[in-house]
Structure 1
Amino acid sequence: MANNEMPNKIEATSSRSELYREIVPSYFVGGIRPGFIETIAVTVRSNLVESAVLGKPQKMEHIEEICIKLTPIEAKNLKDWLKDILSEYEKQFGEITTSKE
């Protein structure tokens, strides 16, 4: 095959990173930067059981789990996907209400 010819097939594979994990974020923070939108998933943990059982002072810890940087196009794609998936969720499980409503 000459250097300027394209291959007939491109092999595509997918796999899961060794660092892959699931989290349930408590909230998101973020902002905009030139060329991308950034969001940080934050979880909140407490020592409620230790506090109640052992009498330790109660603590709440806010942990920044991951920062996701999206191009504006990918951010719009994510917004559209979330809108579609939330609509489907509400059809199956009922309307989602938030504290803002």
Structure 2
Amino acid sequence: MTIQTARLSDPAVRAFVTAVNAHDRERFMDLLAPDATMSDDGTDRDLRDWIDREIFSSNGHLKVDRESNNGRDLVAHYRNDTWGEMTTRWHFEVEDGKIARFETGQA
């Protein structure tokens, strides 16, 4: 069963999912700490290149199935025009209300 985005527990994670689904790159970037990092399937990636390719130029969309760790860990169906839809896991590290790091990969 999908969790409505507005009901996600962590405010920064909720804003992240909202920005992804609205394709709002400016809002998304405002959520990140200045030195934010990320990894995909266990490999660190260039953050800006990855989000452009995997989210914003390919119409990325998240439907959250489960959350844990006070809303900082998600299992979600992620879809984009490049890869189609897959079940993914997401982990967020939040500092001072900003996302300092996120890790994603297939679940």
For CA contacts below 8 A with separation 6 or more, give which structure has more relative contact order.
2
Same topology, TM > 0.5: no
Greater gyration radius: 1
After TM superposition, the score normalised by the length of structure 1 is: 0.27
After TM superposition, the score normalised by the length of structure 2 is: 0.26
